[in-house]
Amino acid sequence: MTILDFAPATRVKDGVATVQLHEDLWRITRADGEVLGYVERSATPAGPRFLAKRMLQRQRRFLPVGEFWDFGAAMECFRF
């Protein structure tokens, strides 16, 4: 299994763009470039997990919003 099984290097869908920064980290932005957060992949004995972290711009910190078994489910945290 390769990283491409989880998400393409760059993808835009429904006004949200994903940019793969390295093998286990994607930046999530709006079409205008505003950073919404990140999705980070980690290995577990049961398979890869994806942690979605929302960027809190005013506080300059990240808020973990959930862990998921697939990339697509983690991306749903950024749709609103």
pLDDT at res. 3: 46
**Tally of domains in the chain:** 1
Asked if residue 1 has pLDDT above 50, the reply is no
Residue range(s) defining the domain that contains residue 44: 3-78
Asked if residue 80 has pLDDT above 80, the reply is no
pLDDT at res. 31: 81
CB atoms within 10 A of CB 31: 10
pTM listed for this prediction: 0.79
Q: What is the pLDDT of residues 14-63, one digit of tens each?
A: 678 889 999 999 999 988 888 999 999 999 999 999 999 999 988 888 99
**What is the 3-state composition of the chain as percent helix, strand, coil, each rounded to the nearest 5?**
15, 55, 30
